[in-house]
Structure 1
């Protein structure tokens, strides 16, 4: 997508995050190639989008490529959060494909993230490669009272979940950790796109965990979200039962 690494820190309190509903968390448009109306690429892209709306909900993940000639091919990927239902997944992917065409008209590559899903497409094959270009973070602006201890526990939890996700067939893991033996807990989630290998999934997640000091040092909640994986922690339970 973009030629240089993009890391945008978006400052949001938790109550603002939860009020977004179905609105996108973030999106990035390619700044390289464009397509024209009624072109073969546009036709292939729309076929691809409809295919992924249909394919993704059953397992929460879908990939596809459409187009006979390389210069006209559209490659796409959709991923739903591991705890959402098939119906929620379908709704999210459907909204994502519609919204990204509105936000990035005529772009031959784009990516959009929601709470429940992400959708990415490009005119070149990107499957099986860690996306280190498209990335952003969200955080709770509230600070914890003991940042050093809290940061250590967050890293401990997410590192464990990074390993668990890389060993899981769906590349997804969630869990919790008591804070110093008290009733308070830290809740975490890790997830990768399933076109990656197990090794690259863990590498992607570990790199995301390494970004936390840059965005979320001593904060009560935060996430690092990318084109190949994402991590999140909060002091409240946010995963569906």
Structure 2
């Protein structure tokens, strides 16, 4: 099935679709099937639209104006965990450190996908984070869910997520060191 798209169109498959990050990036069939399903949903719900975006397990964005290289950081969707942190200020600061770290990690990799985790000893929590952006931009701004134990924030250009459980489906999630303020080295 082919989409009749305006001049600017882009797709991106979410890296946590399969049970391993490496498997997803090497699984063009899974990505293609996701894009096909998302395209069908767009065609069914967005007839004659000049622009639109959909985040399924992948994303499709199209517009009659050229948007390549222009970050769309307007939040399309936010999914929040109903539970809030005990020490909200400390939690907020720690989570934003992690999210900044995974965003910097994503910005340095060709696949624009960054993951990490951070321990919050005072609350006996490990928070896992992920950032995934389209290849035409390098980052995102601070937005989302400041005090919830888990959150997904989706924009036209990026997806940010953090949770108090490992949702990343890979055995090795880098631990964010409290004294490190630079992104991890790109994966080989």
> After TM superposition, is the score higher than 0.5?
yes
Partner of 2:136: 195
How far does residue 177 in structure 1 lie from its aligned partner after superposition? Answer: 1.0
Larger RCO: 1 or 2 (CA < 8 Å, sep 6+): 2
Task: State the Cα RMSD in Å.
Answer: 2.1
Q: Relative to structure 1, is the Cα distance of residues 181 and 168 closer, same or farther in structure 2, using a 3 angstrom cutoff?
A: farther
| Pair member with larger Rg | 1
C-alpha distance in 2 between matches for 1:149 and 1:177:
13
- Structure 1 unaligned segments of length 5 or more: list them: 1-45, 51-65, 67-72
Provide the C-alpha distance between the structure 2 equivalents of 1:132 and 1:187, rounded to a whole number of angstroms: 22
Partner Cα separation in structure 2 for residue 191 and residue 132 of structure 1: 13
* Count of matched residue pairs: 161
* Alpha carbons 2:73, 2:158 under 8 Å: kept: no
Partner of 1:148: 89
1:240 paired with 2:169, answer: yes
Whether 1:77 and 2:10 are equivalent positions in the alignment is: yes
Alpha-carbon deviation of 1:165?
Answer: 0.9
Within 5 Å, give how 1:11-90 maps onto structure 2.
Answer: 47=2, 49=3, 73-84=6-17, 85=24, 86=27, 87-90=29-32
- 1:6 equivalent in structure 2: none
| Aligned equivalent of 1:226, options 140, 155, 165 | 155
Q: By how many angstroms is 1:132 displaced? A: 3.6
TM-score between the two structures when normalised by the length of structure 2: 0.77
Superposed CA deviations along residues 33-83 of structure 1, whole A, max 9, x for unmatched, are: xxxxxxxxxxxxx74x38xxxxxxxxxxxxxxx7xxxxxx53210001234
User: Is the helix fraction higher in 1 or 2?
Assistant: 1
- Cα distance, 1:134 vs structure 2: 5.7
Structure 2 unpaired stretches of 5+: 18-23, 171-188
Name the structure 2 match of 1:30.
none
Shift of 1:221: 0.6
Query: Secondary structure of the equivalent of 1:110?
Result: strand
Seen in structure 2, the aligned counterparts of structure 1 residues 134 and 235 have a Cα distance that, compared at 3 Å, is: closer
Match of 1:3 in 2: none
Match of 1:118 among 50, 59, 63: 59
Contact preservation (8 Å) 2:152, 2:161: yes
For 1:144 and 1:132, how far apart are their aligned partners in 2? 26
- CA distance 1:239–1:158, shift in 2 (3 Å): same
Question: Aligned pair in 2 of structure 1 residues 150, 175: CA closer, same or farther (>3 Å)?
Answer: same
Give the C-alpha shift of residue 172 in structure 1: 0.8
TM-score by length of 1: 0.61
C-alpha spacing 1:221/1:182, structure 2 compared with 1 (3 Å): closer
